[in-house]
Structure 1
Amino acid sequence: MPDFMLEWAETGTVCGIDEAGRGPLAGPVVAAAVILDRDALPKSLVAGLNDSKQLTEKRREALFAELHACGAARIGVGEASVAEIDTHNILRATYMAMDRACHALGCAVDVALVDGNRAPPLSLGCAVRTVVGGDGLSLSIAAASIVAKVTRDRAMTALAAAFPGYGWERNAGYGTAEHRAAMREFGVTIHHRRSFAPVRELLPECEFPTLWQN
């Protein structure tokens, strides 16, 4: 279970950063940055925060609501659009979302703990520490993983209402059998990532010659 050991090892204001949505065929990539007040964080959150992938949807939603209501979490969210993903590639777009999330915190940050093994070039000028499996080790990163996941899932559910048939309210834009079958039946929407191979292969050749290939 995550704890504050990584945060206590740093000096100054520490935020945790994580993203949701690097792999889907549709929708934006969303990142969250979270600063937790280690002395004021409720025990229920200390005990409950974890890698969002290890939690049920109901549990993620409950923790998301508690994070926003507890008064001990400063939260920033950023995203990169499908157009940005197709223009810059998914890795660079993820970095853009992370940088926007940090700026959305609205305060100075000394150290950013980032889930994964690649350090985003954050324009805040803070130190960046990458942590493989960080959402299961750091409470700040775990909180960011929940915020990013819930925020993106809600966005995909909203898009599903405008673009029915693709199952985005269930698959969040990932390339499930249901989603791929709908793409073949109904076509590619404006929210599909044309630089991703399963989408690109359904397009006329003239539509993708200059796009990044995933």
Structure 2
Amino acid sequence: MKILGIDEAGRGSVLGPLVVCGVAVEEDRVKYLERLGLKDSKKISPKRRLSLSRKIERIAECHTVNITALDIDTLRSRDVNLNEIEKIAINQIIGNSNPSTCFIDSMDVKPERLASELESMHSQLNVVSEHKADDHYPIVSAASIVAKVERDRAIQNIRKTYPDVGSGYPSDPKTIEFLKTLSQETPNELPEFIRRSWATVERILK
């Protein structure tokens, strides 16, 4: 039986993609993931994340979906909220990996609602949906790590052209300063990696 862990990186960022990752492995191979001593990607250094990501990819199937800032803005303009956007990626990953059980770090305030919805869409699938699942299940920790590495890679690509973007999160003064400077210099030509539909960006552009 194949099990799947799903997590994301970049959900709250004002720039760059939202990366959703699924890590799938046969149940008898989960022990190899457990031996890596995995935990939430945010608690691991970037260098360690990269090393673990490579090991995870050798042990398991990794399915990543990059939802660009432009995709997010386009869908939000059609009244598709972020949870629904993330679910599009989740359903794609489930379809590609065909697991019997899926462990997921729930973005829904009611994890049981997400589990019920996914089970209704995928027959024969058992869903375990919890908040902070990346702290409790190594397979979700693995997905968290691979997603974060993929997201970090995207931000590094942005930094090649815009070195001062910071982390991309609204809590980062460097990112806010970058957005303010850009909005003053080229208010009508913001790069596509900026999530224009975010309240933080809308406030700065006023």
Give the Å deviation of 1:42: 6.8
- Indicate if the aligned counterparts of 1:29 and 1:93 stay in contact, CA closer than 8 A: no
Cα deviation, residue 89, structure 1: 2.8
Residue 35 of structure 2 aligns with an amino acid whose one-letter code is: V
- Say whether 1:190 aligns with 2:192: yes
Q: Find the partner of 2:64 among 57, 64, 77.
A: 77
Q: Which moved more, 1:22-31 or 1:36-45?
A: 36-45
For this pair of structures, how many residues does the alignment match?
Answer: 185
Matched, 1:174 2:164: no
Contact 1:46 1:139 (C-alpha < 8 Å) held by counterparts: no
Deviates more, 1:84-93 or 1:37-46: 37-46
Q: TM-score, normalised by structure 2?
A: 0.79
Distance 1:159-1:90 versus aligned 2 partners, 3 A rule:
same
Q: Distance in 1 between matches of 2:68 and 2:107?
A: 23
Rate the CA distance shift 1:60–1:185 in 2: closer, same or farther, 3 A.
Answer: same
| Runs (5+) with no aligned partner, structure 1 | 1-11, 205-214
Aligned to 1:113: 103
- TM superposition score normalised by structure 1: 0.76
- Corresponding residue for 1:203? 205
- 1:89 and 2:81 matched: yes
Q: Deviations over 1:28-48 (max 9, x none)?
A: 111111123443457575242
Change in 2 beyond 3 A, CA 1:177/1:161: same
| Uncovered stretches (5+) of structure 2, i.e. residues with no partner | 109-113, 184-189
Q: Which has the higher contact order (CA 8 A, sep 6+)?
A: 2
129 and 42 in structure 1: CA distance in 2 versus 1, 3 angstrom threshold? closer
Task: Name the structure where helix makes up a greater proportion of residues.
Answer: 2
Summarize the Cα distance change of 1:73–1:158 in structure 2 as closer, same or farther, 3 Å threshold.
same
Tell me which of 10, 14, 22 is aligned to 1:21.
10
1:150 partner SS:
helix
CA RMSD of aligned residues (A): 2.3
